[in-house]
A and B are shown apart, each in its own frame.
Chain A
Amino acid sequence: AQSVTQLDSQVPVFEEAPVELRCNYSSSVSVYLFWYVQYPNQGLQLLLKYLSGSTLVKGINGFEAEFNKSQTSFHLRKPSVHISDTAEYFCAVSEGNNDMRFGAGTRLTVKP
């Protein structure tokens, strides 16, 4: 079965700095990969997803992620963060068997 590891539980960063949130997965078959964001007291919403095709995926709010099959990674990046990006970010993987697993989450805190 697939599993997801988010390597950093917390990432503090200053406003306008770049950020990378790391995600590694384990699976023996082809996977679908997702990043979700959770703002305080809200449900999760999709940032971006990789299903097939180009390994560089662009999402909402200026985020992008790159699928690296050899390293089994799907790191999330943004070149310049804003205060409003402060939230919890979840990486998720599905093997297409109608089951999605979420990582433990990374809390991004953007400081002025």
Chain B
Amino acid sequence: DAGVIQSPRHEVTEMGQEVTLRCKPISGHDYLFWYRQTMMRGLELLIYFNNNVPIDDSGMPEDRFSAKMPNASFSTLKIQPSEPRDSAVYFCASSLIRWNTEAFFGQGTRLTVV
């Protein structure tokens, strides 16, 4: 397996534009997580899915953020409209069955909103 795949690796967009980040988890993993990493706040859990169903989205900062998982092999994180304070590295991770086993992270998407 190629691991967790995220795209794009880098995204630069103007304030107000819609941004969509994509993630392909490892095949067979039942849990998928979206994290945001910034210097100020460190690594924050935004939302996670179990078997494609959102379980906890309490970390999503505001209504401008939304995440979907239409099937077991694909998830998106959308920001609409984007703002400069959304600039961060966004990581997707997946794990097998239970969260207290190893989580595998993608290489992240570096988002810059200007």
* Whole-angstrom CA separation of A33 from B31 in the bound complex: 18
Of B31, B56, B107, the residue contacting A42 (CB under 8 A) is B107
Does residue B105 face the partner (Cβ distance < 8 Å to A)?
A: yes
Interface pair B105/A105, CB less than 8 Å apart: no
Does residue B55 face the partner (Cβ distance < 8 Å to A)?
A: yes
Interface pair B105/A43, CB less than 8 Å apart: yes
Does residue B108 face the partner (Cβ distance < 8 Å to A)?
A: yes
* Whole-angstrom CA separation of A102 from B48 in the bound complex: 15
Interface centre among B31, B56, B93, B105 (most CB of A within 10 A): B105
Interchain nearest-CB distance for A47 vs B (Å): 10
Interchain nearest-CB distance for A6 vs B (Å): 9
Q: How many residues of chain A are within 8 Å of chain B by beta carbon?
A: 20
Does residue B71 face the partner (Cβ distance < 8 Å to A)?
A: no
Interface pair A98/B48, CB less than 8 Å apart: yes
Interface pair B43/A102, CB less than 8 Å apart: yes
Taking Cβ atoms with an 8 Å cutoff, the residues of A that contact B are 32, 41-46, 49, 51, 90, 94, 96, 98-105
A-B CB contact pairs (8 Å), 6 listed: A43-B106, A44-B105, A94-B99, A98-B56, A99-B99, A105-B43
